[in-house]
Amino acid sequence: MDIKSALFKCSSQFVDQCPKDGRPEFAFIGRSNVGKSSLINMLTNQKSLAKVSATPGKTRLINHFLIDEQWYMVDLPGYGYARVSKNERKGFSEMITRYILEREQMVFLFLLVDSRLEPQKIDLEFIQFLGENSVPFGIVFTKCDKLSQNKVESGVALYRRVLKKSWDELPIMFLTSSEKKMGKDSVLDFVESCM
Ligand code: GTP
Ligand code: MG
């Protein structure tokens, strides 16, 4: 699949403010600064559809982007960002949890992890939460341009080993770099296969 049009639709603070047209949604989540907004721009061939920032915590609302007038990409706020107040963090996590558990239109969740890091506690806990709630999700390794191919592969292998300890079935995994436009077809072909 190649995307022909991508338009910003709306930003929502609460799930009940999200679009009500029933179009299917594919959402992107992960730690703050992992590259969610950059990935959305890469997939849609746009430079600044989703706002990218070197400072973590840029995306603070649920952002809907209408793709080819048929489906939505949803940019969710990053979790685990320390430099917001406790109250704000609680608000974010409530927003994310409610979106994930209540949003019937959400077909699939892409969980982004930084390919340079070993499995992080916060991500593993999040995966646990997704598994326990039967949320369909896959893991997207980001910023693969920053590592050699060998290092990327050993990082993925480590992730598999860690997940195997708790899960029989492993989620689908994607290797990406927004910088190098890597992984675009595998992500978009997967989306197409879900619709
Ligand atoms: P929040 O909205 O703050 O949660 O962050 P985010 O997950 O949306 O990350 P964002 O896309 O804003 O990117 C964070 C930083 O990582 C920016 O400085 C990007 O330029 C950089 N970045 C994102 N993707 C890549 C990538 O594939 N390769 C490289 N080298 N840098 C990347
Ligand atoms: Mg963002």
Query: Ligand 1 within 6 A of 57 CB?
Result: yes
Residue with tokens 């949890």: 97
Span from the CA of 134 to the centroid of ligand 2 (angstroms) = 25
Q: What is the pLDDT of residue 46?
A: 93
Average pLDDT over residues 17-40: 95
pLDDT bracket for residue 112 (50, 70, 90): very high
Q: What is the pLDDT of residue 8?
A: 95
pLDDT in tens, 45-62: 999 998 887 776 666 789
| pTM of the model as a whole | 0.94
* Cα gap 106→108, rounded to integer Å: 6
Q: What is the pLDDT of residue 1?
A: 87
* Phi, psi (deg, nearest 5) at residue 149: -60, -40
Span from the CA of 115 to the centroid of ligand 2 (angstroms) = 17
State which amino acid sits at residue 175. Answer: L
Query: Residue 92 CA: which ligand is closest?
Result: 1
The two tokens of residue 154 are 């050993």
Average pLDDT over residues 155-172: 95
Tell me if 32 sits within 8 A of 57, measured CB to CB: yes
Query: Ligand 1 within 6 A of 54 CB?
Result: yes
pLDDT bracket for residue 73 (50, 70, 90): very high
From atom 21 of ligand 1, which residue's Cα is the shortest distance away? 35
Average pLDDT over residues 134-152: 97
pLDDT in tens, 121-140: 999 999 999 999 999 999 99
Q: Pick the closest to residue 184 from 175, 172, 195 (CA basis).
A: 175
Query: Ligand 1 within 6 A of 35 CB?
Result: yes
